[in-house]
Structure 1
Amino acid sequence: MAKQSFAASVGDWALKVSGAAEAIFQESAQELVSQLDQLLVDMVYDQPQPVGYIRTGFLRASLMASTTAMPQLTRDNPGASVPADLVDVVLVINGADLGEVLYLGYTANYAAFVHYGAQGRAPRQWVTLVAQRWTAIVEAKATEVKQRLGL
Structure 2
Amino acid sequence: MSEEMKYNTSVGDMAVRLDFSKVHGMDQAEKYFNSLPEAMRTFQVHGALLNCYGNHKCLEKAGDTFRIMRESKLPNFAVSYNVMLNLYNHLGKHDKLDSLMQEMACNGIKHNALTNNIRLNAYASSYDIEGMEKLLSRIENDVEISMD
- Return the TM-score normalized by structure 2: 0.24
Q: Which has the higher contact order (CA 8 A, sep 6+)?
A: 1
Give 1 or 2: higher strand fraction: 1
